[in-house]
Structure 1
Amino acid sequence: MHKASSDTLRVSVVVPVYNRPSELRELLAALVLQSVDSAEFEVLICDDGSTVDLRAVVDEFNTMNSLQIHYFRQHNQGPGIARNLGLHNAGGAIVAFTDSDCIPEPEWLSELIGPIETSSVGMTGGLVDFRTADHLSGRCVNYLMSSMLGAGGARDPRAALHMRYYPRAGNTAVRRELACAAGGFSGQRHGEDIEFSNRILQMRTKIEFVPTAVVVHNEKKNSRQVAMEAFQKGTARIRLAREQGVHELIHTLPALLVVGLTASALTGLFLPAFSKIAGIPTVLYAIVLALIGLHGGFLLKDVRALLLLPFYASLMHIGYGAGYLYAFLTDPSTSVSLERQTVAAKSPHDGMSEQ
């Protein structure tokens, strides 16, 4: 049973989740502390077919405080479709998205929706704080995703050199009617938030980065996960380029790195007379990795990051480049269809299947 009518709601917070009961508790505890009055926002937990009981976590918070939490469940279809489930049932004029392993700061929601409520901005994206995450691996990955040398400032457009900014689904808000008109998120498991943001942008809507809307991303990844995720993002980049023209020169750099390092190794192996010249790309890249380690280690204030950051950076760069090349070379002309679940602009909570 809903605790407030949609007339009182400023914003609906949608959280896709798969398992992670302890992380969900931490997220809900942080949402309880939001500066926005609890009567003015709702939280929609969209369970993507978890194998553990998350309804009990939601019930626990519903009985303890006045936060409006609604629980929905679907068969496992991926985070994009889970977000669409929340979007379909959202009652607020604005829909904010975050992930179950994120911890928003108390002013997060207020700062994130402020530009949308007070100007013509249609979509906002906030900052992912890489300094205070629980796990060193997560701090390193989030630093790399925000830095110029790590990932071209993908998550932070304040980087000196950065790609075009597209809000990521872990920290973004959008006018509900725009999100519905754009058709919601695709069913792809990588790049679906960039694809969604680009469709919003193509509607000639202003998108604004809000550095004061901060979440801490408590992800934990091992080296295999870092490499595999980078590979999948590289393949997704080719798909985005073909389907929506979302591509910039900076996106080709990891692929050029893979080609350069491979050529350097082969030249040194089969043409030893040119080994010194062939080794130049490797030396230059080693310098870049050292700079990443020094800068990131200083910002993270952890000596272990001096070694882990260069290692993770190399996995991300080479993995992304390999995925990019694989997708380009295996199917250079055929487009890949996007499985997108269209979200109709229905009235708030119309026909929802809350459990």
Structure 2
Amino acid sequence: MHYTIIIPLYNRPQEIKELLETLTLQTYKQFDVMVIEDGSKDDAADIVQSFQDKIDLTYYVKPNEGQGFTRNFGFERAKGDYFIIFDSDCLIPANYLETVNNSLNANWLDMYGGPDAAHSSFTPIQKAISYSMTSPFTTGGIRGNKKNMGGQFHPRSFNMGLSRKVWEKVGGFIITRLGEDIEYSIRVHTAGFKIGLIPDAIVYHKRRTNFKQFYKQLHFFGRARINIYKFFPQQLKAVHFFPAVFTLGLGFTLLANLLQWPIAKLCNILLAVYILLIFFHALTQNKSLKIAFLSIITSFIQLIAYGFGFMQDFWKRVIMKNA
């Protein structure tokens, strides 16, 4: 089977260099790569050119439309039997395609998703961010893992694959951002295709490199959940309210301490237990005190940013019924 790897790119030339380097090391060779520059001002033309003799690689430049519609641009031009989507800030293990191909031969999936993890080269902050995005003590526990608490499994577009038949029947993305991957996978489910997780199809996802960027990204994710609700109201589960409830609870705890309410003591105990759970779990995962401490910060940023984004658009678009 031949795979076409589709990578939208926006002002991240250094990231695509690192990603393409990992693709040159793939043990399974039946693939081509499409890098699609989505209206970048800081383009990667020279970097992409340097890989032309190392892998089967095509490079496109188009006006900015966002990642969803840029992936559609790739689908329309892909020559593979199966399409794979990566974010430009991923590093791909050398056995990734071999793992996927073996898994699909053994247990066919029309669409799959894979997990993400922290690479040994990541900074402590990146490792802490990776922890908070995959932890069972944050929204990492509902992000589409095998035992998904949020309902059916939804592959995420940093590490997603789909057959040509899915594209031919369902089409591509109908929104370009704000939860476009979840919306798409729900339509694929509805069309009757088989979707699942390939647990060993891991990518190393860099995500954001500082706390401010991470906050902005997760605030966007919280808003995206409401955007998905507008398309599929039944997909909004009680568990998706957790970051908002946590954020409100944290605010209540601060207020209770400020006003010296008797309940403040109980709130402080619960908060301390939660912090210790994150710390010791992160410590066992990363074997680093520094990363464990940073993981407390990134976990709080994740929940608070997501919670504020969720509440913001829940108020605007659900309560006030603005578009």
TM-score, with structure 1 as normaliser: 0.83
Aligned counterpart in structure 1 of residue 278 of structure 2, from 268, 288, 292 = 292
Matched with 1:55 is 45
Aligned counterpart in structure 2 of residue 20 of structure 1, from 12, 16, 29 = 12
| C-alpha distance in 2 between matches for 1:68 and 1:193 | 26
| C-alpha distance in 1 between matches for 2:143 and 2:317 | 29
TM-superposition CA deviations, 1:218-275 (whole Å, max 9, x none): 23422122222222111111121221132222111111122223334444545x4xx2
Gaps of 5+ in 1: 1-8, 337-355
| C-alpha distance in 1 between matches for 2:96 and 2:119 | 16
Matched with 1:136 is 124
Answering whether residue 305 of structure 2 is matched by residue 319 of structure 1, we say: yes
For residues 211 and 132 of structure 1, do their structure 2 counterparts lie closer, same or farther at Cα, with a shift above 3 Å needed? farther
For residues 137 and 190 of structure 1, do their structure 2 counterparts lie closer, same or farther at Cα, with a shift above 3 Å needed? farther
Aligned-residue RMSD, C-alpha: 2.2
| C-alpha distance in 2 between matches for 1:144 and 1:296 | 9
TM-superposition CA deviations, 1:78-110 (whole Å, max 9, x none): 111211111111111210111211111111112
Aligned counterpart in structure 2 of residue 29 of structure 1, from 1, 6, 21 = 21
**Higher Cα Rg, which structure:** 1
Matched with 1:350 is none
Aligned counterpart in structure 1 of residue 189 of structure 2, from 176, 188, 201 = 201
| C-alpha distance in 1 between matches for 2:158 and 2:106 | 23
For residues 261 and 58 of structure 1, do their structure 2 counterparts lie closer, same or farther at Cα, with a shift above 3 Å needed? closer
Gaps of 5+ in 2: none
Q: Residue 213 of structure 1: SS of its match in structure 2?
A: coil
Answering whether residue 63 of structure 2 is matched by residue 75 of structure 1, we say: yes
TM-score, with structure 2 as normaliser: 0.91
Q: Which shifted more, 199-208 or 87-96?
A: 199-208
Answering whether residue 245 of structure 2 is matched by residue 263 of structure 1, we say: no
Q: Is the 8 A contact 1:115 1:124 kept in 2?
A: no
Q: Residue 75 of structure 2: SS of its match in structure 1?
A: helix
Q: For residues 175-324 of structure 1, what are the structure 2 equivalents within 5 Å?
A: 175-245=163-233, 246-270=235-259, 272=260, 275-324=261-310
For residues 214 and 331 of structure 1, do their structure 2 counterparts lie closer, same or farther at Cα, with a shift above 3 Å needed? closer
Deviation at 1:123, TM superposition (A): 0.8
Give the letter for the 1:174 counterpart. Answer: L
Q: Is the 8 A contact 2:9 2:88 kept in 1?
A: yes
Q: Is the 8 A contact 2:128 2:292 kept in 1?
A: no
Q: Is the 8 A contact 1:77 1:187 kept in 2?
A: no
For residues 68 and 192 of structure 1, do their structure 2 counterparts lie closer, same or farther at Cα, with a shift above 3 Å needed? same
For residues 94 and 296 of structure 1, do their structure 2 counterparts lie closer, same or farther at Cα, with a shift above 3 Å needed? same
Matched with 1:4 is none
| C-alpha distance in 1 between matches for 2:315 and 2:44 | 42
For residues 205 and 286 of structure 1, do their structure 2 counterparts lie closer, same or farther at Cα, with a shift above 3 Å needed? farther
Matched with 1:163 is 150
Q: Is the 8 A contact 1:46 1:72 kept in 2?
A: yes
Answering whether residue 29 of structure 2 is matched by residue 43 of structure 1, we say: no
For residues 243 and 325 of structure 1, do their structure 2 counterparts lie closer, same or farther at Cα, with a shift above 3 Å needed? same
Answering whether residue 137 of structure 2 is matched by residue 145 of structure 1, we say: no
For residues 213 and 22 of structure 1, do their structure 2 counterparts lie closer, same or farther at Cα, with a shift above 3 Å needed? same
| C-alpha distance in 2 between matches for 1:232 and 1:323 | 6
TM-superposition CA deviations, 1:40-97 (whole Å, max 9, x none): 211011111122342222221113x2x2101111112211121111111111121011
Q: Is the 8 A contact 1:112 1:172 kept in 2?
A: no
Q: Residue 95 of structure 1: SS of its match in structure 2?
A: strand
Aligned residues: 320
Q: Residue 114 of structure 2: SS of its match in structure 1?
A: strand
| C-alpha distance in 1 between matches for 2:103 and 2:282 | 31
Matched with 1:101 is 89
What is the percent sequence identity of the aligned residues?
A: 28
Q: Residue 64 of structure 2: SS of its match in structure 1?
A: coil
